[in-house]
Structure 1
């Protein structure tokens, strides 16, 4: 097993990698043997005391991997029992070869059904449905998975938990939840977004020794940003640097009763390296901003027209946190749009944008959560979550610029690429996290990054800061009770990592 790569693939792309590897001279049976060996090694490492294995085998190559695991377990002196969905003699290709090997070893086999479930197993090895599953399961198959999932037995998934869509990360009727998933050749994007991480457990990867030149022939669906990549695009500061060189972020928001949101955005922008940070808000909010962060230049306006001079002076505008949707917020958004400045658009600015007949396309980063994405697409939240990649593509096609779709496995799409953020934790489910993210992205944009780079690296820095606060070795205090403002110091550390 190796560290998870940064390249993610669709199911079709992974199958193409497999095909090209075979065409390049690695027989399919060898790839299958390597997959089974890697999974068996992982099983022995995770559950060293396990002896009785229930190996669940489907009718395709995923089942073939299962037969390999069963044979290796038998040869190691363990006691595997195979439960099959399709009789071994009806298999074909490499899967048939591996099943016949298990028969020659006289490994016990029996059909799998709702009323024929494994008993007394120490570990379930899931080789039922692989990445080829793309439509909802039949009722009988879904029933089997549900019955298996109710068993109080640890589970190892081969390549992907059965019943999970490799492309969307959503269940296809039912999913056999895994404690450990060993995925092969390419990391499937669905393992890291939607409900994928919920069902996958610990994710391990092996490339099965597929040659590098094979990977060069298949385009990557999306990339996972890294701190090393951020430092390549965020140049070290020169000795003669000054605040004017690092951009002026203008945060706009904070209608009556909503002072906190834009204040957190402004603080985050300051902590992430913007040369200057200003805030346009209601006059009543100005003292709170100065008290919390005197470095931020706060101006109170009741008439949106009073914001014109600061808008003209800004490098980047971050608008939406606490903006509300009345005439004050609408007027400020119209001024920001008319300025032609790069923008980060969040919260109520997104809701206002959704109500516009034709907002056109601007140099913006849109940062919706699933509910806001649904309003922008005039759809419902469930539809957005059912296929987050499709929703992302629709948002980008409709609004252009860069779109960041928040959630488990945050997604980013711009004109130059697509990214997935695999850091983050459930402690981030608290008020203000999105406001802080808005400030982070705006600060990176002000320092010269493109909208796409600012969004993907900003989301990564934000998530890594949350992980440091919740689970870091030195100061992690747990996920429960994590506040958005807890991230501010950790943001600075991550920006300078």
Structure 2
């Protein structure tokens, strides 16, 4: 998969630049390449399919579908095509594709809810990346018919109904088993709710020359563990613990000690040299029993916390912190210390409520609910454009941001680039996962990594550990502690 991610508008620009580079009068050759690519993917995935049902829209996405229909017919498959609009009104390349399809002997019928779907595989070529508003009623009916037909679906470029920029459905959305996308990877395919609809994601640049992409630089890139692992600090043979930083985890109000304990253990697993934990007295014994390498101390006053802060280089603030007076005291004391921090959980909620600022060396790690409180908007607003939300958080709080969720988003206050980290699985939807991530990021920061690089590696490593854990534990049974057991193993395997 390519690293660069594009908006729908940028992909249209790439398409135009590619056509120019081919010295072609129109984009029909590019459309034929897209159709051939999709047909190859279809045959690879469903080699026994003998009959196809295609749904074609009124634009170039429909044109891609007509190319697939013609190819299927020429390969002796039975083909039925339903047009969502009058194909006689097609223009440009799509009209050429329709005419060629008809010349090959393919019959095209206008879709109505009475039409019967008989194909072994359904091809979705209706809306593509041009969709920006709500799905129209006639398309919604077709999408619902596709989703209830009980046949596997291959979507061309993007499942119809899904926003190519946000990854959110704009109404009824095709549930595809496979999506074949072309020319530029759309950023909406890797975040939001996109994975619920895309199925297997296949990319084809359609032989577009590499220099075309240099003419349209993008400020968004994709990362995963295979890429991020190269950011991990390297240890010299002469290394000692003083070279790898000191993290202080501050959290664990009464009844919430586990969060702070897991964060502290994760900081050590990240490679930090020395880890301390400022917590409530009730959790000191449990912490020492679980992770005796961590220096746990009871904290009851600002003065006691200041003494621990003096020795710390990075603060992990928030796991199990709570919002009671003890947590409020810890929050303000840590903010006053003006040191690099990883901020999560109730620390974020109190920052939102009190409209406090962070320093630019800090990293906040909100989930969408916390992000909504920080931005004083709804969760729906955050999800509608996670890219804008991450950027707004970085600018509003002058800090680095790791916005959790499918396709974790990273933003920095001093640069335009956004990073989408693809890692992990649905089993991570349980308590404690964020605490492990907080400790992991803090441990990497303490080793001298820049905040954005630390966030990228932490998110990717975190997700890779979760994926590794599901080799022996069902996703539904996954717990945060399972990740702690896998962190060292996945890094060892990646660095061999």
Count of equivalent residues: 489
Residue 483 (structure 2) pairs with residue 484 (structure 1): no
Which runs of 5 or more residues in structure 2 are unaligned? none
Normalising by the residue count of structure 2, what TM-score does the alignment of the two structures yield?
0.96
Most deviating of 421-430 and 435-444: 421-430
1:282 corresponding residue in structure 2: 280
Give the superposition deviation at 1:82.
1.2
Paired residues of 2:84 and 2:139 also in contact (CA < 8 A): no
Paired residues of 2:228 and 2:456 also in contact (CA < 8 A): no
Paired residues of 1:340 and 1:363 also in contact (CA < 8 A): no
Residue 17 (structure 2) pairs with residue 20 (structure 1): yes
Paired residues of 2:468 and 2:490 also in contact (CA < 8 A): no
Give the superposition deviation at 1:358.
4.0
Paired residues of 1:272 and 1:495 also in contact (CA < 8 A): no
Q: Distance in 2 between matches of 1:313 and 1:159?
A: 53
Within 5 Å, which residues of 2 pair with 1:371-410? 371-410=369-408
Instruction: Give 1:7's match in structure 2, choosing from 4, 8, 15.
Output: 4
Give the superposition deviation at 1:494.
3.1
Give the superposition deviation at 1:492.
1.5
Give the superposition deviation at 1:340.
1.4
Most deviating of 342-351 and 118-127: 118-127
Q: Distance in 1 between matches of 2:389 and 2:93?
A: 37
Paired residues of 1:340 and 1:362 also in contact (CA < 8 A): no
2:461 corresponding residue in structure 1: 461
1:267 corresponding residue in structure 2: 265
1:494 corresponding residue in structure 2: 490
Q: Distance in 2 between matches of 1:354 and 1:208?
A: 46
- 1:176-209 Cα offsets, whole Å, 9 max, x none, are 1101100111111111111101000110111101
Give the superposition deviation at 1:67.
0.6
Q: Distance in 1 between matches of 2:424 and 2:474?
A: 13
Instruction: Give 1:299's match in structure 2, choosing from 297, 300, 303.
Output: 297
Give the superposition deviation at 1:219.
1.9
Normalising by the residue count of structure 1, what TM-score does the alignment of the two structures yield?
0.96
Most deviating of 69-78 and 12-21: 12-21
Most deviating of 131-140 and 292-301: 131-140
1:229–1:120 Cα change, 3 Å:
closer
Q: Distance in 1 between matches of 2:2 and 2:362?
A: 29
Within 5 Å, which residues of 2 pair with 1:307-326? 307-326=305-324
Paired residues of 2:340 and 2:359 also in contact (CA < 8 A): no
SS at match of 2:144: helix
Give the superposition deviation at 1:135.
0.9
* Backbone CA RMSD of aligned residues: 1.4
- 1:215-261 Cα offsets, whole Å, 9 max, x none, are 11122242222445434433421111111111111100000011100
Give the superposition deviation at 1:149.
1.6
Q: Distance in 2 between matches of 1:483 and 1:425?
A: 12
1:361–1:482 Cα change, 3 Å:
same
